[in-house]
Structure 1
Amino acid sequence: MPPSNGTRPYDDAPPRTPRSARRAPSVEYQAAQPDPTEQLAQILRQEIPSPKVLAFANPKGGVHKTTATVLTAATIGSVRGKGVIAWDDNELRGTLGLRAGSARHARTIRHLIADLVRVEHATGYDLYDMLDDYLRHASDGSYDVLAGEENPRFAQRLDPHTVRRVLELLRRTHDVICVDTGNNVESPNWQTVLQAADQLVVTSVPREDAAFTADWMLDLLDEAGMEELVANAVTLLSCPTPNPTPLIDDLAGHFRTRTRAVVVVPYDPALESGSNIEYPMLAAATKRAWLKAAAVMMDPFAR
């Protein structure tokens, strides 16, 4: 017989939690990991407070100075979209003008200097239009090229005052100026570019003679009072063959003690012929390596 209080026999059991009050299964949310490639690209997209000069240097020939200059300009330009130029300031027949940019004309730094006063006095869009008559452009439009002069006698006209005027002109029209320097540390144009540089990029390949020459150059710059430029430099080690040699690790370790950073860029068959450098033709891994290299160079200037 039911209890007299009207309760049911199972009323002494714990009350059931209403369905609406039951605790929902916990769900853990994890923030998406940032894309490393996008992080590097973001460094290159940052506003630059003032135009920057990147000098690519090593008195030894055949150490990929021209390749590094072109691919840095191409990488930064492909991310920023505009405002990047590569200048061949080699005093003796540099090849940058042959390996980069469309040969829409044969004008070089010699022709620009001949008209320098007229171009310097231009302003606004007129300045861009006038300077453009002396520039070549990458096939994808990512950067401009100021080709060097093939006549070796012209080097005598690249005195310090003229080089400074050209750099100042390029600063008025471009945000990033990548300069391919020559092999003569005693030449006035080489010294003037290094004195004006915001970032020194030491290029080398995994060879003892190339590394020794780079080391000697850094000592020379230290003695010339450019210790800060040396300490903040970036060393770029390029692999000329598909299989990196053990020496590259030794050189990387050494130059980390002398410069701010060391970046190793891989071999790419698209660069082997020594002909025109086409950034879009590079392997994805090569593009990532150059993106990292360019970001390391530009990181101190990014806001």
Structure 2
Amino acid sequence: MTDIAITITPDASGTITIGGATAPVTGKTIEQTREEAMQQAVTHARQTGEPAEVTADDPTGTFYLTVTPDGGILNRPSPTDPGTAGWEQEPALTGHDDPGAPQVAFDEQGRDRRPSAPQRREPIPHNVEDLNVPPAGQPAPADPEPAPAAPLDEAANVPELSELVGAGGIEVTTDLSTTPDPLETDPRWIKISQQPAEDGWRGTLNGWGLKITPTEDELAQRREALRQEITREEQERLEAEQHAQEEAVQESRRAAREREAAAKDRTERALIQTSFEEPKNVLIANDKGGQGKTSACYCIGATAGRIRGGDVVSWDANETRGNLGFRAKKAPTARSVVDLLEQAAEDFTTVEGSKRSTLARFTRSQGDNLFAVLASDESRDRQDLVDAEAFEKVYEILGRFYSLILIDTGNNHRVSHFTAALAATDQLVVPVSAGADGAYAAETMMDTFESLGYGDLVKNAVVLLNDSATRRGDATGIATKFEQRVRAIIPIPFDPALDSGEEIDFDALQPATRAAYQEATATIAQGLADTKENQA
């Protein structure tokens, strides 16, 4: 039998000496170095066909092992331990590669607890007398007969019924709650409970290749760790279920909102696409400037133009130089309503001259927005030429080619062309900013309209309540002023793309802004449709 010595230092370096030949053994950790050294020892035993006794020293202590040619790693007693004299040594573990081989099971004092635990041999006697052998010719003494057992008085041992029965009678309770611990049937626990020891000296020996079973304390720790893991998994499962339920509820609500929004969109588009048998005039008015009249005129025109597929014109009928031409998409030439009156008004007095292409020379196409803009003149003096008669002439021309005419007005409702526009109005739209001054101007204007006999226009009016980034008025209070006076109040959110004062890019507006103007346009169309029905 070969002697093998293994030495491992705390830095995981080591040596193995086999038959007087020493070789280095290295690993990244002490455990890896142990594994490499024992692998070399097993390889030597297989090559020689004989078991080898291994003495291993590492930072945890000294161990005495035996490796066998079949790959087994056995525990052997210390040669200097007098407590092992006279014991028949059995392998601590046989069949290193045989899962069916017996495993060592020690108690807390390190004693073998196997049913076939080794027994101490009795000393062999050196004298014949010590064997207690009878002389020749004499029979061997018979074994003494055992004394007869005392008769069993079973009746004497039966307790009286009165001793068993209390004042309330015999009460027998049987615990039927034998539900097994679910952990015991968990496949993971079956695997974990069969793993070799990892703690204490058992774990250290297992680090040398043995497979000693864990103590009850270690099993209890593993059981508790698994139980906590199961609890954590169950908590995560419950949380995942709750999250899924919340997601389902949110998704259901989101789907409901989407369906509602889709239905609202279809309804609004259908209203905006209403066909009118005659031109409809929408007057956008507020006596005070800065209330959003021009933005409303452009955005309502773009909304109606896109949904109706054209057939919409926005006219800047300001008594002075208006702003709609500046906010709209520019044209190659800056022709205005005054140029139309001066250069082409007579052309539209004949059938041959009444051409859309002629009118297109003086309007500005707004591209994908599918509506046109008729701008006011940039000269204030020339714009004064648009009086009541001129308004009626331009309105008649526009009505030949467009069924929806949006009129952006100035701040003076007493001028003649405003009076003419008011007389031709089918729908009144009143933009109001968040400030109290704009609301006051709108109220006084409505009072004037009612005094002039246009109470129906006021009652059917649509108020656009514009939010502002700089003016924080009482929107609720302003809405309260008009809710009993007009047909509808539509909030318009603040949008930086409109607040800049630059050319309006309708696609750059926020979705909420476009949605608000679509609602406003549909509300206007609904009023026009009702007017059509009433007239019919």
- Where 1:157 maps in the other structure, the secondary structure is coil
| Structure 1 residues 155-174: aligned runs within 5 Å | 155-174=383-402
Change (3 A) 1:109 1:246: closer
Tell me how far apart the structure 1 counterparts of residues 274 and 453 of structure 2 sit (CA, whole Å): 30
Q: TM-score, normalised by structure 1?
A: 0.85
1:113 is aligned, of 326, 338, 341, to 341
Tell me how far apart the structure 1 counterparts of residues 370 and 510 of structure 2 sit (CA, whole Å): 18
Deviation track 1:61-105 (CA, whole Å, cap 9, x = no partner) reads: 100000000001011001001110010011111110011133221
| Structure 1 residues 213-252: aligned runs within 5 Å | 213-241=441-469, 245=472, 247-252=474-479
| Structure 1 residues 145-294: aligned runs within 5 Å | 145-241=373-469, 245=472, 247-294=474-521
Q: TM-score, normalised by structure 2?
A: 0.49
Q: 2:278: which partner in 1?
A: 50
Q: 1:39: which partner in 2?
A: 267
| Structure 1 residues 137-148: aligned runs within 5 Å | 137-148=365-376
Tell me how far apart the structure 2 counterparts of residues 224 and 294 of structure 1 sit (CA, whole Å): 27
- Greater relative contact order (CA < 8 Å, ≥ 6 in sequence): 1
Query: Does the CA-based 8 Å contact 1:102-1:139 persist in structure 2?
Result: no
Letter in 2 for 1:248: A
RMSD over aligned Cα, in angstroms? 1.9
Tell me how far apart the structure 1 counterparts of residues 336 and 499 of structure 2 sit (CA, whole Å): 26
Change (3 A) 1:206 1:215: same
Structure 2 unmatched runs, 5+:
1-258
Q: 1:79: which partner in 2?
A: 307
2:331 is aligned, of 89, 98, 103, to 103
Shift of 1:161: 1.2
Shift of 1:245: 4.2
Shift of 1:246: 6.0
- Where 1:140 maps in the other structure, the secondary structure is helix
Deviating more after overlay: 112-121 vs 40-49: 112-121
Shift of 1:125: 9.3
Tell me how far apart the structure 1 counterparts of residues 503 and 492 of structure 2 sit (CA, whole Å): 19
1:66 is aligned, of 294, 312, 315, to 294
Query: Does the CA-based 8 Å contact 1:88-1:96 persist in structure 2?
Result: yes
Shift of 1:281: 1.3
Shift of 1:123: 4.0
Tell me how far apart the structure 2 counterparts of residues 38 and 245 of structure 1 sit (CA, whole Å): 34
Larger Cα-atom Rg:
2
Letter in 1 for 2:489: V
Tell me how far apart the structure 1 counterparts of residues 484 and 367 of structure 2 sit (CA, whole Å): 38
Query: Does the CA-based 8 Å contact 1:49-1:301 persist in structure 2?
Result: no
- Where 1:35 maps in the other structure, the secondary structure is helix
Shift of 1:119: 3.2
Tell me how far apart the structure 1 counterparts of residues 285 and 359 of structure 2 sit (CA, whole Å): 26
Tell me how far apart the structure 2 counterparts of residues 272 and 183 of structure 1 sit (CA, whole Å): 20
2:320 is aligned, of 83, 92, 96, to 92
Tell me how far apart the structure 1 counterparts of residues 313 and 329 of structure 2 sit (CA, whole Å): 10
Aligned residues: 271
Q: 2:146: which partner in 1?
A: none
Query: Does the CA-based 8 Å contact 2:449-2:458 persist in structure 1?
Result: yes
Q: Percent identity?
A: 32
Letter in 2 for 1:188: S
Structure 1 unmatched runs, 5+:
1-31
